[in-house]
Structure formats: C-alpha cells, structure tokens
Chain A
Amino acid sequence: MEMIFAGLLDSISPQSLMFLFVGVTIGVVVGAIPGINGPMAIALFIPVTYYMTPLTAIGFLVGLNKGAFFGGAVSAVLLRTPGTPEAAATSWDGYPLTQQGKGEKGLRMALYSSVAGDLLSTIVLIVIAAPLAAVALFMGPSEIFALISLALTVIAGIGTTSIGRGLAAAAFGITVGLIGTEPVTALPRLTFDVYQLGAGLSLIPVAIGLLAFSEILLQLENIKRQGAAAKCTHQFSKKFEDRFIGLKEFFANFKTLLRSSLIGIGVGAMPGLGAPVASFMSYDQAMKRSKHKEEFGKGRLEGIAASESANSSVVASSLIPLFVLGIPGNLAAAMLMGAFMIHGMQPGPLLFKENAQLMYGIYGSLVLASLFLLLVGRFGLRLFCRAVNIPSMVLYPIVIFTCLMGAYLGKSSMFDVGVMLTFGVLGYFMRKFDYSYVAFLIGFILAPEWERALQQVVIISENDPFMFFQRPVAMALMVLTLFVVVRTFWKSIQEGKKKRAAPAAANSQQ
C-alpha cells in the first residue's frame, strides 16, 4: 500500500505532470500532421528522455502516444488522409461531417470517445496486470523462450501481406539484434571488427531510421509523384449544435462506445493484432448492430465513436503483455519497451517486484494522461486543426534534421547517425518490397532476451535435447507456436489458391 501511495505521489510531482502535459500536447500536434504517428513520434523523442527520470520519461512517452492516437483523428476527419491505418475508419464518418461544416463536432466526438476508451482500458490494465504478472513470475527461462518464439511468429504477420516475408523480416531483425557481445563468452559477435558495434546496435538510431526516416523518404516521394499534399479547405459551422456534443448525443452512443472499448481492450491485449484490427472490427460491429445502418459512412457520430474508442483503448491494453510477460504487442509497445531498457529496466513480471513504486507511478501517469488529453483536446482543438496544414516544404526538412540530431543525441556519436541513415534506407526498401519493418523491429528488440533465455535453458538442463518435454507450459507454448506457423502457412496457401483461381475463372469466361 505504501508503494502505491509513493508511486501515485511521484506521478503528481510537478516535473512528471509538466512532461506528461507536454507529451500529450506534442502527441496531439504531431499526430494531427498527416504521416506522423505515435510510434514514429516515440522514436523521435526517446533521445530526449535520456535526460529524464524513468517515471517522467515513460510518462512523457505514454502521453505522447496517447496524444498521437487522438491527433491521428484530426487529419482523418478534416482531410480524409488518416496518418495511421487505425484512423481510416474514423475518416469514413468524420470527413462527411467536415463536408457538412460539422468537422468540429466530429472531432469532439473523436476526442470524447478516445478519452473514454483509453480510460476504460487503463483501468483494466491497472486491475489485471499486477495479478497476471504474479502468475507470470512462475515462468522460467523455458517458458520465456517458448513465449518469445510464439510472439515472434504471431507478430510476423503484421505490416505485410505475406507471412513468409514477415518471418524473414523477423529473422533478419533477430540477426541484427544479435550483433554485439555474445552473452556466454562475452566476446564480440558479428561486429565485423567495427569497435562501435561491440556493445550492439542501439535501439534509438535503428528505430528512428526504420520508423521515421524511411517514412519521410516515402512521403516525399509520394508528394513529388502526386503533387502538393491535401489541404483542409472546409469551414467550420458557427451553429452551437454543429460544434458541440450534448450529453444526450454522447450517451446515445454510450453502448457503442462501451462495446468498442471492450473490443479494443481484447484486441490490444493480444500480441500482433493492433489498433487497426480493433478499429475496423468495432466499426463493423457498430454498423451491424445499429438501427441506422444506412447512415454509416455519411457522417454518423456512432461510427466515429466506434473507431476512436476502439483504437484508443488499444494504447493501454497493449501494455498488458508488455508489463506481464515482457512482450510488446505492437510497435508502440515495442518502442516503450526500448525506453524501459534504456532506463535500465527489463519489462516483464519482475518489473512489479523490483520497481513496484515506479509501476504505480506509471499507472498514475496513464490515468493523468487521459485527463490531460481531454483538457488539451477540449481547449486546443481549433489550434490543432491548423497542424494539418503545415506545408511539406517546412515540415520535412525539420523532421529529417530532427531524425539526424535525435540519432546523434543518444551517445553523442556520428556513428549512430550513420546507423540511422542505413536503417532508413533499409526501411525504405522493406516497405517498397512488402517486408514487415514492424516484425523486424520487434525481432531486433526481443533477440537478446530470446537468446539469453535459450542459453539459460541449455545450461540449466545440461544440454538435454528434451528439456522442453519436462516443462508442460513451455511444451504447450512450443506446440502452439508450431500450430500458429502451420495454420498461417496453410491459410496463406489456401488464400493464394483462391486468388489464382479468380483471374483464371475470369480469363475462361472471356
């Protein structure tokens, strides 16, 4: 109990509150800019957190992520250019509202839905993470190894249309993650005699390159190809009912909001699915269960409520596997895992035992971030709308230069800038060739822990090849991993057959 109070008190210290507020505000602004999303913002700002206390740093990054999730709705509603896949469903009903002059109303619905979903999800995280972590403490290296293997196979499907390419990307991420000092011999491995690689590649330059720099390269290319980026030219109506959401209107959507938040929590807690799945699933359910199905896609508030509450509830619930098992469920959680590690902590069940006060502090920051989001969104809405119109000529040089200096900041090393540029180019090619950079990054982050667990298993069992047969949970997880791989490949083969059959049938008809 003492720990809980101490942690909560830490979270309301002036420094924590200030950085949390700043994080949420920056998050909303950068999220509103088309093309910049939460994980990208975290990657860009992690170097800044080197100089903060762990609680302030994690609070700042969590606030940034929460803000960016709502910010994504701003460009989706005003421009119909969702910066992130999860905001796509928001644009379906948000943009028609903007065309009707009710864009502000749409944004307010998005804000309230985001805050409600996020708050509910945070409460669920607080209630279940610690008890689950207590159970997870009984897991040994065999179970951890098996669990990471399972996570890597599940995650291989994110961000690509081919499971084969996803697995290859995850395997490449693991290979790159193994560069550095080998854990048993303590000798350099795969360093190619480059002394800067002795301690391995830092997460910061790799993440900035893969997430932010490569994205900017692609966006610049798109702008050159398609011409100038879209601009918001719609005017907001001045009528009260077109600007604000009444209590009656809010509670009319309460059922949808609750259902969508629960979908988001469930999806977020499962590694590998992520916010887009939650958002589309909730929208689909809301439409199926609505009495006004025909109004969906034409500016129905219920559609915005479904999409936004679902994708925002993923933010906190995706921390459940991270806090309980030390496995990041999505990219934002992977970036937060990196931030924990930079501050000398290993996410997982031991976190509650070794850093209980910090964890309760983070809980406090999570709740406060939701409230700050409400505050910042409520009073800064019109201001944030301007962020969508920042000219690309101004924005991209700033982001590119920030990427370069952000990579330098971590170790004050130009070598890291070179690493960032290398991974920027790699990320560009991975995206162009449909290889999942998400799977790569998660593989890169999990590789050292995966190998450490394997080494522990082998050493403890004295090289027994049947070591996993003696651990039923590990055995079950390994079987599940195999099942996931076989099932995914089987599904992929079946889908491939169907796709091939379709053009063949069309040809024969002609």
Chain B
Amino acid sequence: MSRVTRDALGYLFIIGFCILMLAWAIPTYTPAYPGYGAPPALVPNVAVSVMLVMAVVSIVRVLLAAFLNQPIPPEEREFPEDVDDDSGFTQVGRVNLVHLVSIMVPCALLVVAIDYVGYAIASFAFLMLLQFIIGSRRWLQSIIIAVVLVSVLYIIMRYGFGVPVPGPQLFE
C-alpha cells in the first residue's frame, strides 16, 4: 500500500470516527443543558468538528491531487524507511501489525492473568515471554532479569510505597 493511500484511509477512519462521535456518542453520553453556562456538548462538538474539518480538507486535497494528476512531494509520497532518511526525527513509517500484536498480546495476557495467578507468577511468565519475543535466547540471563525485576518492583511497591501489588497477595 502506498503512503498516499494509507494516509487517505487514515483520514477516512477519522471522518468515520468523528461522524460516530457527533451523531451518537456526544448526544448519548453528554448531560442535558441545565439552562445556564455553555451547553455540556459544546466543547466536545467543537473539538470533534475541528478534527472532522481537518480530515475532510486533507482527503479533498489527496483526491484533488489524484484527479488533477498533480505531483505529490516525496515527503508525502514515500516512507522514510524506503529512502533511508536519517536526517530528521520523523517516526512516520509502515505499521508493522505482526510486531505490534507480538508485544501487545503478552501485555494483554498479563493484565488478565495477574488477577488469577497473582503478580509474581504472571509477571515472571510475562517477562520470560517478552524477552523471548524480543529475541533473547540466553535463558539464564532472561531468568535472572525476570526474577530480579519482579522482586525489586515487589519490594518497591509493597514496602517502599505500601501499595498492594496487583492480583492476589502472596505474603499476607
């Protein structure tokens, strides 16, 4: 997918999101006007409308350029990773869904598992899995990092801040 197409799809997503907000979310989940002050829906409506206008303007620009066959500047057409652009600090690029999912799934699993198996076991398993996904194959190093990190954060939270660690408490 070219960058122009991808960005256009992004604008369309924003347009859809804004329409959903304006037509359903804001009217449904905003209190009624109490009769004084600015209506509670005013600022959300203005903010979402600004997003909508910006997205519409951007997509119109893209469509106009396509219909009129206008040349698109390289910085809007190419992904920096394709042109080996190391001059700036832009983080624009292709979305790597496989990478994203590979990191997010263990995180989501930790959030769910911590309530069932407790902080220590869930966190240890999470860190081992995460290190494996990142590419670490030094098992001893991975175990040491996981054990030390889980223990240090346990001590900091439990005894430093007096905050119960997430999930069932082990040493109550």
Residues of A whose CB lies within 8 Å of any CB of B are: 48, 50-51, 85, 88, 161-162, 164-165, 167-168, 171-172, 174-175, 178, 182, 184-185, 187-193, 217-218, 220-221, 224-225, 276, 392-394, 396-398, 400-402, 404-405, 408-409, 412, 414, 417-418, 421, 425, 428-429, 431-434, 447, 450-451, 454-455, 458-459, 463, 496, 499-500, 502-504, 507
Q: Is B120 at the interface (CB under 8 A from chain A)?
A: no
Report yes or no: A165 in contact with B58, Cβ–Cβ below 8 A. Answer: yes
A and B contact pairs by CB, cutoff 8 A, 13 listed: A171-B48, A172-B47, A189-B31, A189-B44, A190-B30, A192-B25, A221-B96, A394-B141, A400-B107, A412-B164, A418-B111, A431-B92, A434-B92
Please pick, from A164, A393, A503, the residue contacting B58 in the complex, using a CB distance under 8 A: A164
The interface centre, meaning the residue of B40, B110, B135 with most chain A CB atoms within 10 A of its CB, is B40
Inter-chain contact B7/A171, CB cutoff 8 Å: no
Q: Is the CB of B43 within 8 A of A450?
A: yes
Q: Are B71 and A175 in contact (CB under 8 A)?
A: no
Q: CA of A191 to CA of B31 in the docked complex: distance in angstroms?
A: 11
Known: A168-B51, A175-B48. Contact between A458 and B58, CB under 8 A? no
Q: Are A167 and B29 in touch, CB under 8 angstroms?
A: no
Check B134 against A220 for contact (C-beta < 8 Å): yes
- In the complex, given contacts A189-B30, A394-B145, A421-B104, what are 15 additional A-B residue pairs having Cβ atoms less than 8 angstroms apart? A51-B160, A161-B90, A171-B51, A175-B44, A190-B30, A190-B44, A225-B81, A393-B141, A394-B141, A400-B103, A400-B107, A417-B166, A447-B43, A454-B42, A507-B71
Contacts of A503 in B (CB 8 A): 71-74
**Are B37 and A458 closer than 8 Å at their CB atoms?**
yes
> Which of these, A185, A394, A447, contacts B34 with CB under 8 Å?
A185
A141 to chain B, nearest CB (A): 12
B31-42 toward A: CB 8 Å interface, digit per residue (1/0)? Answer: 110101110101
Contact B38 A455 (CB under 8 A): yes
Complex CA gap A500/B108 in Å reads 44
Residues in A neighbouring B29, C-beta threshold 8 A: 188-193
- The CA-CA distance from A190 to B28 in the complex, in Å, is 8
In the assembled complex, which residues on chain B have CB atoms less than 8 Å from the CB atom of A171?
A: 47-48, 50-51, 54
The answer to whether B2 has its CB under 8 Å from any CB of chain A is no
A405 cross-chain contacts in B, Cβ below 8 A: 153, 157
CB distance from B149 to the nearest CB of A (A): 6
Closest Cβ of chain A to B27, distance in Å, is 11
A97: min CB distance to chain B, Å: 20
In the assembled complex, how far is the CB of residue A409 from the closest CB belonging to chain B, in whole angstroms? 6
Q: B127 contacts A401, CB within 8 Å? A: yes
Q: Which of A397, A404, A425 has the most B CB atoms < 10 Å from its CB?
A: A397
Q: Is B26 in the interface zone, CB < 8 Å from A?
A: yes
Q: Which residues of B contact A401 (CB under 8 A)?
A: 123, 126-127, 130, 149, 153
Chain B, interface residues (CB within 8 Å), range: 35 or more
Q: Of residues B90, B134, B157, which shows the largest number of chain A Cβ atoms within 10 Å of its Cβ?
A: B134
Q: Is the CB of B163 within 8 A of A409?
A: yes
| Shortest beta-carbon distance from B55 to chain A in Å | 6
> Given A221-B96, A459-B36, is A175 in contact with B130 using a C-beta cutoff of 8 Å?
no
Once the chains are docked, how many angstroms separate the CA of A163 from the CA of B94? 21
Interface pair A393/B135, CB less than 8 Å apart: yes
Q: Answer yes or no: B14 CB below 8 A from chain A CBs.
A: yes
Q: Which residues of chain B have C-beta atoms less than 8 A from A164's C-beta?
A: 54, 57-58
A217 to chain B, nearest CB (A): 6
CB-defined contacts of B73 to chain A, threshold 8 Å: 496, 499-500, 502-503
B97-119 Cβ-contact flags toward A at 8 Å (1 or 0): 00110011001101100110000
Q: Which residue of A lies closest to B32 (CB)?
A: A185
Interchain nearest-CB distance for A447 vs B (Å): 8
Contact assessment for B145 and A397 in the assembled complex, using a CB-CB cutoff below 8 Å: yes
Whether the pair B136, A161 counts as a contact (CB closer than 8 A) is: no
B10 contacts the other chain (CB 8 A): yes
Cβ-defined partner of B111 (8 Å) among A165, A276, A417, A504: A417
With A175-B44, A190-B30 as known contacts, state yes or no: A414 contacts B111, CB within 8 Å: yes
In the complex, what residues of A have CB within 8 A of residue B111's CB? 414, 417-418, 421
Cβ–Cβ contact A455 & B91, under 8 A:
no
Complexed CA–CA distance, A175 and B17 (Å): 12
CB distance from A153 to the nearest CB of B (A): 10
Contacts of A409 in B (CB 8 A): 157, 161, 163
Evaluate contact between A414 and B71: CB separation under 8 angstroms. no
State the Cβ distance, A144 to closest chain B Cβ, in Å: 15
B168 on the A face (CB < 8 A): no
B residues less than 8 Å from A450 (CB atoms): 43
Q: Quick one: which of B122-158 are within 8 Å of A by CB?
A: 123, 126-127, 130-131, 134-136, 138, 141, 145-146, 149, 153, 157
- For the complex, what is the distance from the CA of A168 to the CA of B161, rounded to whole Å? 39
Question: Which residue of chain A lies nearest to B112 when distances are taken between CB atoms in the complex?
Answer: A414
When distances are taken between beta carbons in the complex, the residues of chain B under 8 Å from A50 are: 161
Asked whether any CB of chain A lies closer than 8 Å to the CB of B75, the reply is yes
Kindly identify which residue among B7, B26, B103 contacts A433, using a CB–CB cutoff of 8 Å.
Answer: B7
Specify the chain B residue showing the minimal Cβ separation from A86.
B89
User: Does B21 count as interface, using CB distance less than 8 angstroms?
Assistant: yes
A224→B31 contact, CB < 8 A? no
A500-B70, A502-B73 known; A421-B108 Cβ under 8 A: yes
How long is the Cα–Cα vector from A392 to B55 in the complex, in angstroms? 37
Q: Is the CB of B149 within 8 A of A397?
A: yes
Residues of A close to B50: CB separation below 8 A: 167-168, 171
Partner among A167, A191, A218 whose Cβ is within 8 Å of the Cβ of B54: A167
Instruction: Select one of A51, A175, A392, A463 contacting B47, CB under 8 A.
Output: A175
CA distance A168 to B14 in the complex (A): 9
